[in-house]
Chains A and B, each alone.
Chain A
Amino acid sequence: MKIDSIQDGVVLDHIKAGKSMDIYKYLHLDKLDCSVAIIKNVRSGRLGKKDIIKIDSPMEVDLDVLGYIDPDITVNIIRNGVRVEKKHLALPEKLVNVIHCKNPRCITTAESQLPAIFLLSDAQKRSYRCAYCEAEKTRRV
């Protein structure tokens, strides 16, 4: 894969410098069979330094996961070597099976097959609450 040009795939841009490996793990990119390029510490006018991930496959990116990790990331969809769409993210109102409740008194810790549901409680603090027990979780990345 040429790092600067992919034919059909996804480019994740404006990743905070040093955070690309977290995204690699959250999106389970290690499971992909196609080429994935992680470019670290790219010069950026807005961020100073940034990371970029290029995925050489027209995969569906879980925007909720990405929005939770960092809503400032931009998602570029590439078709036939041309960017056909640029998506700006937002903090999702609801997260399902992205993060898990750590409250030992929560029903989800006793019954792990229940979907882990978190609802956005404070966009400024980027904090979420477990829909079951209301325990708070603040975005880590």
Chain B
Amino acid sequence: MRNLIDVTDLSVAEIDELIATAEDMIAEPDKYAQVCRGKQLATLFFEPSTRTRLSFESAMLSLGGSVLGFSEANSSSTAKGETVGDTVHTVSCYVDIVAMRHPKEGAPYAAAQYSEVPIINAGDGGHNHPTQTLTDLLTIHREKGRLDNLTVGFCGDLKFGRTVHSLVNALSRQKGINFVFISPEELKMPAYIKENTLDKNGLSYEETASLEEAMPKLDILYMTRVQKERFFNEADYIRLKDTYVLDPEKLETAKKDLCILHPLPRVNEISIAVDSDPRACYWKQVKNGKFIRMALIMKLLELQL
């Protein structure tokens, strides 16, 4: 039985295989419409979400399966003090696969110790968000035709941004990736990622506080939201939340084939005026998220066409 707790639980070859399956699903969705018939997915969301939860549910329904679950901790036995392990153990007696989101880091790892079915980490605090990473990789692959030899800029909250951490981990296994980390001092990439993922593997990266300076060299620009829920101190959040706002003016020096990504939701870090720019790929990303989750569910349930 396989879980997906961290994106590196999947080998590069397995990710390539998931991307290929997702591409085929996009091309011929009807072929997959009954693959999960009779199977059930539980979406256990101890923290609110729109995209990830509905994307998982839509993915399972598109595969012919069914879904059940809860969308906030208050509507589960967590409100009575039940542990994550007991909640997941219970649900795993009913369903074939579980996708869970939890505000505490490492909660999916804990859940996997008690579950009888595969666990998918749908986001654990500021730690990891592997299915967003698979979504990002599929989008990069569809837009650029490759995952290697790219200059990738990450902008905004690089300290608490779990999607950033997961994507850096995944891209660090590709050849010829140059990382550019754009953030205010207080939200810089954590030292453990720089030391253990980048330095240890001899990968090049640069850090800057200036989006304008970094813009001309980027093939991919990954924007992130400064997340209010990750701050213990609201004053720090207010001070940092509007550090970067991407607008048409800032894009004037960007490459013609730049690919702008954002895990969403956005607040105001990308101006709505950018949405009509052909380089804005974040809505395509949302769509791709469903297909890569379909491919992942099939893989973890060990189902074939």
Contacts and interface: CB of A to CB of B under 8 A. Distances in A.
Interface of A: 103, 105-108, 110-111, 113-114, 121-122, 129-134, 136
A105 B83 contact: no
B83 A136 contact: no
Contacts of B83: 111, 113-114
A134 B8 CA distance: 13
A111 B104 CA distance: 10
Interface in B12-57: none
B192 A130 contact: no
A107 B102 contact: yes
Given A107-B84, A113-B83, A121-B196, A134 B104 contact: no
A75 B107 CA distance: 37
B23 to A, nearest CB: 32
A105 B110 contact: no
Contacts, number: 50
Interface residues of B, number: 17
Given A111-B84, A121-B196, 8 more contacts: A107-B84, A107-B104, A110-B104, A111-B110, A114-B110, A130-B106, A132-B109, A133-B106
A107 B192 contact: no
Contact of A107 (B106, B126, B196): B106
Q: Residue among B103, B110, B126 with the most chain A CB within 10 A?
A: B110
B289 interface: no
Counting from the closest, the 3 A-B pairs by CB-CB distance are A132-B106, A133-B105, A107-B104
Interface of B: 83-85, 102-107, 109-110, 124-127, 192, 196
Contact of B109 (A103, A113, A121, A131): A131
B110 A133 contact: no
A110 to B, nearest CB: 5
Nearest to B128: A134
23 contacts: A105-B103, A105-B104, A105-B105, A105-B126, A105-B127, A106-B106, A107-B102, A107-B104, A107-B105, A107-B107, A107-B110, A111-B85, A114-B85, A114-B110, A122-B196, A131-B106, A131-B109, A132-B106, A132-B109, A132-B110, A133-B105, A134-B127, A134-B192
Nearest to A108: B106
A132 B84 contact: no
A121 B106 CA distance: 17
Nearest to A115: B113
Nearest to B104: A107
